[in-house]
A and B are shown apart, each in its own frame.
Chain A
Amino acid sequence: MMNRMKHAQEPISYGSEFRVSIYTELRENADGDQVMENLLQLRCHFTWGLLFEKNDIPDLEVRISEQVQFLDIKNSLGMHNLQAYVRHLKGEQEEALQSLKEAEALIEGEQLGKRSLVTWGNCAWVHYHRGSLAEAQIYLDKVENVCREFSSPFHYRMECAEIDCEEGWALLKCGGSNYMRAMACFAKALQVDPENPEYNAGYAVVAYRQDFDDNHVSLEPLRKAVRLNPEDPHLKVLLALKLQDLGEQDEAETHIEEALSSTSCQSYVFRYAAKYFRRKGDINEALHLLHRALQTSPSSGYLHYQKGLCYKQQMIQLKTSGNRQARRQENIQELAHQAICEFQETLNLRPTFEMAYVCMAEMQAEIGQYEEAEGNFQEALNLNNLVAHIEQDIHFRYGRFQQFHKKSEDKAITHYLKGLKLEEKSFAWRKLLTALEKVAERRVRQNVRLVESTSLLGLVFKLKGQEMKALLYYEKALRLSGEMNPAF
């Protein structure tokens, strides 16, 4: 069983060891406890409750180094700090210190003001964990001085938009389980400074990541962020993708062309532009961009995933083209295999990438490898910390696998129902509802398991909010059960 890693547990797990150390070295418990109390007041990575699995750490490290290397200038300080925290979690205290030194070097070169507090907070924690209470205290004092300078009502805690923003970026980097809190952080910062380019960029990116239902919450934030950050091609690509979702092809194309013509953040632009072109149907262009991006980021799980999606889409296009020639059949097999390889590589790099399991399973199903497909669907379903709409999508796609490949409608129905019980009204939830409705309607027409099928239709109407219709279907199902008084 995978253990979920959350920093709040760290002091407890290390407490006894460090107490012994403290006693040995300083022969005082009181100082250590007091330092811990102060550390907990700090706002930095150690106190932000970042949620991710131990399995996620290698991929997270890759993404941090990519961002430091390729996202020009943006948030290097934050990434060095996050890297320090990750190294600490891996038990690499000296390496953690090294990352913090690099962060401090950036501080010295610029007037970062309040943002320095995050680095100094992390320094205090790292020194504390390596037993250097004196060093920890030095950094605590630095923080306290800045807090006093800015008239903070707290000794070691600064309430300000800048640190809200830093927290937002850290949460955003650590995966889907953190997005909601990241959004709240950026929203809070925006209350202080509504036209701030960086806060708007952060808010827009999180909104985009969270945009999985009909509300399209990210469109206006992205427009605003692009307006305030006209030189940022990363934001332009995200806006283009959102416009593509909405069918605004021309405007989307404009933003893509502008983004590609920029020399900033090229690696990031390539990966998102590739997605754009794939969805546009221009898969060769997408693959070209992905190949270029992979040359500089060969360890990116995300890039391999996108490449897999390209092969998947090509395979599906071939399959639905209707041409039954043997050579095409070979091509289908070849493309499926290529897709599977890419998804496998994705999972090697990032074992908790749930949609990669699903996509790999779907490709295996297409070439008749049902056992392997089943195994991968089960892997996906058994992952911890699945976000609701993703879990819904997994149930939907596994349900379809059971319905159309395994010809097991009962299992399909089971999973459509499991997915629907996760009550978030997302795209996936609606697809589950439609799938359940279709299979139930057909079974009613074919007189298959009439009581169950009629009941399922009632449930569908209930979930659509049509309660009276739902009740009437339930009553019809009850009548069909043969257990009711005839006058019912």
Chain B
Amino acid sequence: MEQVLSPSTMSEESRRNLIHDSLVELRCHFTWELVIKDNYMPDLEAKILETEFLDTNYNMGMHNLMAYVRHLKGEQEEALQSLKEAEALIEGEQLGKRSLVTWGNCAWVHYHRGSLAEAQIYLDKVENVCREFASPFRYRMECAEIDCEEGWALLKCGGSNCTRAMACFAKALQEEPENPEYNAGYAITAFRMDFSNEISLEPLRKAVRLNPEDPHLKVLLALKLQDLGKQDEAEKHIEEALPKIPSRNNIFGYVAKFYRRKGCVEEALEFLERALKTKPSSVYLHFQIGLCHKSRVFQIKEATNMHPKGKDRERADQSIRSAIYYFEKTLDLKPTYERAYIDLAEMYAESKQFEEAEEAFQKVLSMLSNLEVHMQQEIHFRYGKFQQFHMKSENIAITHYLKGLKIEVTSIFRDKLLKALQKLAERRMQQNVHVLESLSLLGFVYRLKGDTRKAMSCYEKALRLTEELNPEF
């Protein structure tokens, strides 16, 4: 039986289609293909809420991102509420092109809740601004300001979004190379992606120069300088930044990290305890506290020539228990926090609870395929070390050093894997243990380092040891 469509139904359907065609032209969170995994949603929401305390010129971006997240959770009215807050900011300032992001998101939200008339109102607003700025597109504005907004959104979502965030800020910087905000965004993204201590130092220096009142950038620069062994210069930036940090700011987590790595565990713990009072559910803060206790364990061991006794032994054991407590707490708060499993495992290993350590490592190894490649390298490296030095199982260590090295991205941990494998191979050769395999592993290391001549030489020596080759080889 043919169903005759009423004129009003046809009109409604085609109107929806027309509006959708316009919506996809917009530049806003709905079209930016933000990669947000389901299990990351709660963390992201918490992070955005934390942003409320940031001393930032514009909270608008965060309100917009919150709206998008709420939409993804199916909370349309709450999404509208976030957008209202973003619009309130618009009314208070001349935001010009940046308003387009909010209006674009408004259009999408209204579309999804079925308010086509409202959606059209916001589409018209966007179109008017595009016309005003002589955009060649009806609903799309190509400009540095929106590139920057896209960059911030991507950066906030983290993970695989960072590469694109970097490209967005770089694009904006092509237009205005000395823009303070674009440089800040670029530097922070570079810092996040700097797995080999190569790309972020100069961007951070420049961003600090252009944003002299921003303590966040100073702290990141200090951490990078610390990574590069420039402790004095790093100290200077920390001291400059401290008085400027608002009391409820989560930058204190970074400051604590700085002091912990400097060896000042007590100062670090002070900052962290204070910050924890304002954010008792912070995954990051619990983790950092755990790292402080872990750090204290190694300080005690170093001070006692790796063999603490008596009171030192007690203090070390207490620190181990504390570290384990905080890492466990971190994982209670966020079961997918892979880094905490590794540190937890290493603390179990220090207290010779090898079964628990293995269990924690296996847990993180089972998560491997979901993780970033840099993190995979780190996990293989640290598990390999565990097997080599705690379990005395060199074969398993070799397996994991090799698996880590099969991941070909450049990073600090790739270098560490190469060194670990090289040292292990060289020692076994000196001890005449598995010489053929050790020579091959050494050749593999040289190949990955780009020294093909040495790699060739090692492989050929190893092959001769198989005694399966023609003697003339």
Residues of A within 8 A of B (CB): 410, 413-415, 417-418, 421, 449, 451-452, 455-456, 458-459, 462, 467-468, 470-471, 474-475, 477-478, 481, 483-488
Contacts and interface: CB of A to CB of B under 8 A. Distances in A.
Given A474-B456, A475-B459, A488-B444, A481 B470 contact: no
B190 interface: no
Contacts of B470: 410, 413-414, 417, 452, 456
A459 B473 contact: yes
A452 B456 contact: no
B468 interface: yes
B437 to A, nearest CB: 6
Interface string B277-318: 000000000000000000000000000000000000000000
* Interface residues of A, dominant DSSP: helix
A478 B472 contact: no
Interface string B422-444: 00000000000010110011011
Contacts of B400: 487
Q: Which 3 A-B pairs have the closest CB atoms?
A: A474-B459, A487-B402, A417-B472
A451 B468 contact: yes
A471 B452 contact: yes
B208 interface: no
Contacts of B468: 449, 451-452, 481
A414 B471 contact: yes
9 contacts: A410-B470, A421-B472, A452-B469, A459-B473, A474-B460, A477-B463, A483-B434, A483-B466, A487-B398
A485 B399 contact: yes
Interface residues of B, number: 29
B440 A455 contact: no
B380 to A, nearest CB: 10
B456 A456 contact: no
Nearest to A451: B468
Given A452-B473, A471-B443, 13 more contacts: A410-B470, A417-B472, A459-B473, A468-B452, A471-B459, A477-B466, A478-B466, A481-B466, A483-B466, A485-B441, A486-B399, A488-B440, A488-B441
B452 A455 contact: no
A449 B462 CA distance: 16
A478 B459 contact: yes
- Most chain A CB within 10 A, of B402, B443, B452, B468, is at B468
A219 B466 CA distance: 48
A197 B196 CA distance: 66
Contacts of B398: 485, 487
A65 B440 CA distance: 62
A80 to B, nearest CB: 48
A481 B436 contact: yes
Nearest to B459: A474
A457 to B, nearest CB: 12
Contacts of A477: 463, 466
Given A462-B456, A478-B440, A488-B440, A471 B447 contact: yes
Contacts of A485: 395, 398-399, 402, 437, 441
Contact of B437 (A410, A455, A484): A484
Contacts of B434: 483
Nearest to B406: A487
Nearest to A412: B470
Contacts of A451: 463, 466, 468-469
Nearest to A421: B472
Contacts of A487: 398-400, 402-403, 406
A321 to B, nearest CB: 36
Contacts of A484: 437, 440
A484 B440 CA distance: 8
Nearest to B439: A478
B26 interface: no
A476 to B, nearest CB: 10
A453 B292 CA distance: 56
B455 interface: yes
Contacts of A449: 468
A456 B395 CA distance: 28
B29 to A, nearest CB: 42
Contacts of A455: 463, 469, 473
A414 to B, nearest CB: 5
Contacts of B459: 458, 471, 474-475, 478
A470 B455 CA distance: 10
Nearest to A454: B463
A373 to B, nearest CB: 21
Contacts of B456: 462, 467, 470-471, 474
Interface in B364-410: 395, 398-400, 402-403, 406
A102 to B, nearest CB: 52
Contact of B472 (A413, A468, A474, A486): A413
A205 B395 CA distance: 64
Contacts of A483: 434, 436-437, 466
Nearest to B452: A467
B472 A418 contact: yes
Interface string B119-163: 000000000000000000000000000000000000000000000
A471 B445 CA distance: 12
A488 to B, nearest CB: 6
A139 B398 CA distance: 80
Interface centre among B437, B441, B444, B472 (most CB of A within 10 A): B472
A179 B230 CA distance: 64
A186 B370 CA distance: 72
Interface string B33-59: 000000000000000000000000000
Contacts of B466: 451, 477-478, 481, 483
Contact of B463 (A410, A421, A467, A474): A474
Contacts of A452: 468-470, 473
Contacts of B455: 471
A415 B470 CA distance: 10
Nearest to B400: A487
A391 to B, nearest CB: 14
Contacts of A413: 470, 472
A269 to B, nearest CB: 44
B175 to A, nearest CB: 41
A487 B470 CA distance: 27
Contacts of B473: 417, 452, 455-456, 459
